[in-house]
Amino acid sequence: MKIKLLLFLFTLSVFVGCNSESATQQDSSPSISTIDSTLELAAKQYEYLGSQIEPGEYPKTYYDERDELETSGSGWWCSGFYPGTLLYLDEAIDAPHLRKRAMEVMKDLKKEQYNTSTHDLGFMMYCSFGNANRQQENEQYEEILMNSAKSLATRYQDTVKAIRSWDNASWNKGEEGDLVVIIDNMMNLELLFWATEHSGDSTYYDIAVNHANTTMENHFRPDYSSYHEVIYKENDGSVKARITNQGAADESAWARGQAWGLYGYVMTYRETGDEKYLEQAQNIADFVLSHPNLPEDKIPYWDFNAPNIPDTYRDASAGAIIASALFELSTLSEGEKAEYYYENAVDMLSSLLTPKYLAEEGENGGFLLKHGVGSLPGNSEVDVPLTYGDYYFVEAMMRYKDSKK
């Protein structure tokens, strides 16, 4: 009898212990109330941020040490993130005053639909007008998006089968007769996929797929880390050089570059259904998540091979992009892989929600996330908030909420 009682108590203790551990693991995930309160904080921050800029200005970053907000004009590659974040926040918490503000900003931004000098029209126009049209279809938005896609398509070069990223200039190590492609350009393909779906013209789809294929063939190392920049010879499409312009070294894994590649191939699989893009996205995700230099809180250093790790900068913007991409990748994957990507996305989002990265109300010049890195080699936007970090952070929170429905 005593032996049976001891066995019962032991079994009960194991059962309680396991359930306690399970409860602890569940409690480590953000509550929906935490997400909602953070979105409310975001609305207040962005309302303040909007009060600090004049018409035609777009917030870029904020320098706390000198209390200085840096802005840009509509032609800067980040111009779509500010109105896009406002639209996301209205969608998330019903904040019509923020949507109204976004509409005011986009009256100025719409002129960029004819800008053929940049590959970043996806960032600029799809994150803004694309979201607006997704939320409420509008013929004017659709016309602007189609014109934007036409402008982006002018940068496609059929010999290389890729979209020109940067125009030739000495600072990007390109020369006359070269075509420069950066990994960031994967993000702009979503605009082209939309254009084919909307118009029925497969030209845009074909350009997007060709660019994705060329990038997959030439931008990635055997371990699925990515170079930042590939320089092609325009006359024959051959690779002239592979470099990492904004990373620690040409052979290093610049964190935001890995984020753009991951997000880009997740999106490309969603839009095409071609399994090779899913496999590519999973391989990139596995590289990131298994990297020995990924910190315990899973917010990456600005470069996975940066010197002086751990005594160097984190990049919360890369963390936000990766987290958002992983949430979607988990819905497109199956079994243990789906669970693995989801759990890591939750871990990253949980870290971003802590005071280490998330500003309090009235801090950070109105931005949300601290500790972003634009270009450390260029000494530009180092350890500061960034509009794209905020945009993908809000998107990640929304995707997390959707996963709980």
**pLDDT tens, residue by residue, 95-123:** 999 999 999 999 999 999 999 999 999 99
Average pLDDT, the chain: 93
Reported as a pLDDT band with limits 50, 70 and 90, residue 16 is: very low
Instruction: Give the residue-averaged pLDDT of 304-315.
Output: 98
Reported as a pLDDT band with limits 50, 70 and 90, residue 174 is: low
- Please check whether residue 27 is in contact with residue 33, taking contact to mean a CB–CB distance below 8 angstroms: no
Residues serving a catalytic function are 120, 184
- DSSP letters of 364-391? GGG-SB--EEEETTTTEEEEE--HHHHH
Alpha carbon separation from 239 to 175, 204, 230, 327 (Å, rounded):
13, 24, 7, 34
| Alpha helices per DSSP H over 158-309 | 189-199, 202-218, 255-272, 275-290
**pLDDT tens, residue by residue, 352-401:** 999 999 999 999 999 999 999 999 999 999 999 999 999 999 999 999 99
When computed from its CA atoms, the radius of gyration of the chain, rounded to whole angstroms, is 22
Residue 334 has what DSSP assignment? -
**pLDDT tens, residue by residue, 44-66:** 999 999 999 999 999 999 999 99
- Any idea which residue has 């600005």 for tokens? 302
Alpha carbons 356 and 215: distance in angstroms, whole number: 35
**pLDDT tens, residue by residue, 216-249:** 999 999 999 999 999 999 999 999 999 999 999 9
End-to-end CA distance of the chain: 48
Going along the chain from its start, the domains and CATH numbers come out as: 156-245 (no CATH), 253-405 (1.50.10.10)
Reported as a pLDDT band with limits 50, 70 and 90, residue 175 is: confident
Q: Given this model, what pLDDT does residue 99 score?
A: 98
3 state SS of 269: helix
Alpha carbon separation from 163 to 55, 67, 74, 107, 115 (Å, rounded):
32, 38, 21, 27, 14
**pLDDT tens, residue by residue, 262-275:** 999 999 999 999 99
